[in-house]
Amino acid sequence: MQSSTREVLTKDGIRLATSVLTPDSGGPWPVVIARTPYSRKALLPFLAGLCEHGYSVIAQDVRGTGDSGGTLDLFRQEPGDAIDTAKWVLAQPFCNGSLGILGLSYLGAASISIASTYKANVKACVWVSPVAGGKNLFLQNGAVRLHHNLPWMALGNPKFKSTDWQRTYRHLPLEGALDAAGIHNPTWRLICRDWDEWWAGRDLSAHYRRANVPGLHFAGFWDFMADSAFRAYDLLKASGSPQVMIMGPWSHNGIAGEVTKNAHVDYSLISSPRFMERTVQWFNHWLKGSPLPSDLRQPCSAFIPGVGWVHTSEWPPSEASKKVLYMGRGTLLDSPSDQGKVAFEYDPACPVPTEGGAVWEFPRAGLDPGPATVSTGDRPDVVVFRSAPLEKPVSCLGPASVVLFVASTAPSTDFAAKLVDEHPDGTGRVVADTIYRWNQESDPEVTLDFPAIGHLFDEGHRIRLDISSSNFPKFDRNLNTGVSSLVSKEMKVAKQTIRFGQTTPSRLSLTVM
C-alpha cells in the first residue's frame, strides 16, 4: 500500500489536507471518499483495510479542522468543498472513474453532495447514522439534545478533557455554559439564540433527495442518532435506488468499531454488525461487480437480543403488527380503563437523571448507552404504568409511540417517556426513551415517538412505561416558565396531569413481530 499527503484547492482558495492510499500494484482503482472533522489520520487504520481490498482511498480533513485551512462553518461549507474534492479525485490517475462514499455520522453530511452531483460516478454509499438534515440534530420534539450537542461543540478544545461536564450541563443559562468552562465557541451561542436562523442554509435534505445511489445503512438501537439514520434511509429510498438497512443493539460509536457489548450487557459476537466485512462486500458488488452475499440481499436485517437475526422485506417491517396497551391506574391494559387521571409535580432543580438508553459514550462527557437498570421508578415525579406478567414473549421490532392526554400549570413544560422491561424480581431495564416539549397552545393530546425498538419482552416479564417531565442531561430541562433554558435561569415547579380512560385513551403502541 502506498500513502501520500496531498492538498485539494477549493474554489475560494482554501487548501484541504488529504491523505491518499493506493494499492501497491495495478490501477487505476475505484475510489472511496471519507471527509471528516475528527482527524483524517484517525481514520487511516480503518481505511487501510479497504485499500487492501483493491480500493484507492481518500481521507480528508474538512475545512477548518485538522491540517486543513479555513474556518469551520458546520454543514454550510460541505456541499461546495465536497464537490471540489470529487472533481479533483476524478482527475487523478489513480481513479478509474467510480466512486464510493463512506458516510459515518458527520462524514455523511460532509460528502452527500458528491452523491447528488456526480450521479454517474458514485456507485455506492455506506452510511452510519449520517446527519440527514432537519432539526433533529439539535432538538427532539422541541427539547434540546443537551448531552450530545454541548460537548460536541467543544470537541478538539484543549479544555475538553478537564471540564467538569456534569457541572457544565447544569449551568444556566445554557448559552453561557461553555464560556463558564473556559471553552469559547461562538457557534454555540448563535445556536442558542436562534436555531432556525443558524440552521438556514445548512439543511442538506435536498442533497439526499437528489442522490440516486445504492446505500447500505447501519443503525443502532442504542444510537442517539438512530432517527437520523432512518431519515437518510427514507430520503434515499424515495429515489428508487436499492437501500439495505442493518440494525442491532449498538451505540453510535460502536457500529464501526464492531462493539458487541456495553456497560450493561454482552450480546455475544453473533450480534456484530460486521461493519468492515459488509462494507467491503457492498462496495465490491456495486464498484466491482462481485455478487452480493445473501444477507445483503435482504432489504432489512435486525439483531434482536434474545431472538437473534431477523430479516424483513422493508423498514418499517410490513410483516409486523401493532400492539396497543392503554394506561390505567398504574396499569397497562389491552383496552381503555375507566376514566381517571394522575398528577405529579415537576421541579427543574431536581430532574430525573438519564440512565442508559440511546446516549453518546464519548470520553469524559459520555454516559453508558444500553439497557441500564432504572432506579427512578419510586420517585414522586415519575408515574409508572405496568402490564400484567406476560404469558408469552413479545418481540418488538420497529417504531413505537406513546400518546398522552396532558395538562400542566406551566406555560411550557416537558413530558418524558421511558419504556422499561421489568423483570420478575422487580428490576427494570430501560428499552427506549423519548420526550416532548409542550405549551399551553399545544393540543392536550400529544404523541411521543421512539425512533425504533428491537427488544424481546420475555415470558413472565412486564412491559412498563415510566412517565415524567425530564431526562437530564440527555435533554435540557424545561424551566416551566415559557422561556428556554438556553437563555434563562429562572425556574418554577409545575403540576402535571395525565388523563386516561375511554375519552382520553393515553396509550403505548408497539410494533411486534
Cα angle, residue 421 at apex, residues 305 and 357 outer, rounded to 5°: 75
Q: Are residues 268 and 354 in the same domain?
A: no
Mean pLDDT by 10 residues, the chain (513 residues): 96 98 95 97 94 97 97 95 99 98 96 97 97 82 94 90 94 97 93 86 92 96 94 94 96 86 79 93 98 95 94 93 97 96 98 95 79 93 98 97 98 98 97 96 95 95 99 98 97 98 98 95
Q: Are residues 32 and 150 in the same domain?
A: no
Helix axes 40-51, 275-288, angle to 10 degrees: 60
Q: Are residues 378 and 481 in the same domain?
A: yes
Q: Are residues 181 and 227 in the same domain?
A: no
Q: What local confidence, expressed as pLDDT, does residue 131 receive?
A: 92
Q: Are residues 281 and 152 in the same domain?
A: no
Q: Which amino acid would we find at residue 338?
A: D
CA 480 – CA 438 distance, rounded (Å) = 10
Last residue of a domain, one of 267, 295, 312: 312
Q: What local confidence, expressed as pLDDT, does residue 254 receive?
A: 86
Q: Are residues 255 and 150 in the same domain?
A: no
Reading the block at residue 11, the C-alpha cell is: 474554489
Q: What local confidence, expressed as pLDDT, does residue 259 receive?
A: 79
Burial status of residue 327 (CB atoms within 10 A of its CB: 0-12, 13-18, 19 or more): buried
CA 276 – CA 287 distance, rounded (Å) = 16
Q: Are residues 66 and 98 in the same domain?
A: yes
Q: What is the pTM of this model?
A: 0.95
Q: What is the CATH number of the domain that holds 352?
A: 2.60.120.260
Last residue of a domain, one of 151, 180, 198: 198
93-114 as b/e: b if 16+ CB within 10 A: ebbeebbbbbbbbbbbbbbbbb
Q: Are residues 280 and 350 in the same domain?
A: no
Into how many domains does the chain fold?
3
Q: What is the CATH number of the domain that holds 263?
A: 3.40.50.1820
Q: Are residues 86 and 19 in the same domain?
A: yes
Phi, psi of 431 (to 5 degrees): -105, -40
Give yes or no for a cis peptide into 473 (omega within 30° of 0).
yes
Q: Are residues 350 and 476 in the same domain?
A: yes
Strand order in the sheet with 428-439: 383-386, 462-468, 412-422, 428-439
Last residue of a domain, one of 312, 337, 369: 312
Provide the residue range defining the domain that includes 19. Answer: 2-134+204-312
Three-state SS sequence of 149-202: HHHHCCCCCCCCCCCCHHHHHHCCCHHHHHHHCCCCCHHHHHHHHCHHHHHCCC
Q: How many Cβ atoms are within 10 Å of 120's Cβ, its own excluded?
A: 8
Q: Which amino acid would we find at residue 390?
A: L
CA 247 – CA 163 distance, rounded (Å) = 34
Q: Are residues 451 and 325 in the same domain?
A: yes
Q: Are residues 372 and 236 in the same domain?
A: no
Contact 492, 347 (CB under 8 A): no
Q: What local confidence, expressed as pLDDT, does residue 270 receive?
A: 83
